[in-house]
């Protein structure tokens, strides 16, 4: 998808959202239904995205020749441990930057992962 197509898609989404918001201001029942649907959809999307990230991590490690079944189980267990004990997502991202020299920036649509050169 080109940047122009992405911008066009974003404009269409913004128009649709504006229509929904205008309708919600007129009808509180629509507002309540929207919120219920939005929350349920968000929850589903988050779960799906996490599953996708776990699966991608496992396949990437296998492809790099670093993990089979046992190593994959250890990786998933360690990921769960890290996620369970982190304070915030930003702190986790900062820790990756500090310990590995990799900057994660999902605000950037095309180059979300950046290798940072070491000082000195």
Average pLDDT in the 55-83 region?
88
Which tokens go with 105? 């920036």
The whole-model pTM stands at 0.53
CA distance 28 to 92: 39
Which tokens go with 49? 């995205």
Residue 85 burial (CB < 10 Å; 0-12/13-18/19+)? exposed
Q: For residue range 33-63, what is the model confidence (pLDDT) as tens digits? A: 777 777 777 777 777 788 888 888 899 999 9
């Amino acid at each position: 998808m080109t940047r122009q197509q992405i911008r066009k898609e974003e404009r269409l989404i913004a128009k649709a959202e504006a229509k929904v918001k205008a309708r919600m201001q007129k009808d509180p029942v629509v507002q309540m239904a929207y919120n219920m649907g939005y929350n349920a959809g968000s929850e589903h999307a988050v779960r799906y995205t996490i599953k996708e990230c776990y699966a991608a991590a496992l396949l990437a490690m296998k492809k790099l020749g670093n993990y089979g079944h046992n190593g994959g189980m250890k990786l998933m267990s360690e990921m769960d441990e890290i996620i369970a004990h982190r304070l915030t997502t930003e702190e986790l991202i900062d820790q990756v930057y500090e310990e590995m020299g990799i900057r994660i920036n999902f605000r950037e649509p095309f180059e979300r992962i950046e290798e940072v050169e070491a000082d000195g």
